Amino acid sequence: MRDPRDTYQWRQTRKRVLRHATHCAICNLPLDFAARPCSRWAPSVDHIVALGRGGEPFASSNLRATHFGCNASRGIGRGRSVRPMLQQEPVRAD
């Protein structure tokens, strides 16, 4: 089966998610749209419920704007719990 992230539909969906995004949904710091694509601070789109766990690849309710580094750090193989976006607690900068 083809990875949905290799499709035209994903590129359009990604643009839509990032269009009005300003801050990472995980750490709450600003997204850097001038950052190199794979840098930690570059914008990325995170699947709240990972594709490997049955998450919908193009559903707006399963997508959020994040930093590339924040998204990569919570990958499916890392054993972190998956919390819905509305229930996720904001990160404190204490």
pTM: 0.74
Distance CA 51, CA 76 (A): 9
pLDDT for residue 93: 53
47 with 55: CB under 8 angstroms? yes
Q: How far is CA 53 from the centre of its chain?
A: 15
Low-confidence residues of the chain: pLDDT under 70: 1, 75-94
pLDDT for residue 29: 96
